Structure 1
């Protein structure tokens, strides 16, 4: 538990901290996108809703990885 706590204190400097924060960020993104698509009335099929949620999660993953990599090298 101490290792995880220390990793979360400086996530940019270690891989475990990056993984923990990325996992939490993706979980929150998927939860928010799912809530928006299922709470707002629309006529989209389940296939389209899942495609939208997957696309949003993938874009969030790419942007967050770009942010982490740019902080690491620049």
Structure 2
């Protein structure tokens, strides 16, 4: 029924992704879909930052002052 699809090859990127998925402890961040849950400490810090409005916008174009070199 779908004989034409049998001739379609996986993209090289997908092939590498499938190979990497067979290696223990490899974390793929290719699509931002990690295979583990977010640590609780990170969840709490994100909630705290969101609650006080600290991360509800893009950063300044020239960067955050505390992260810039002088």
Larger Rg: 2
Q: Report the TM range for the smaller structure's normalisation.
A: under 0.3
Relative to the length of structure 2, the TM-score reads 0.26
Relative to the length of structure 1, the TM-score reads 0.25
Structure (1/2) with the larger helix percentage: 1
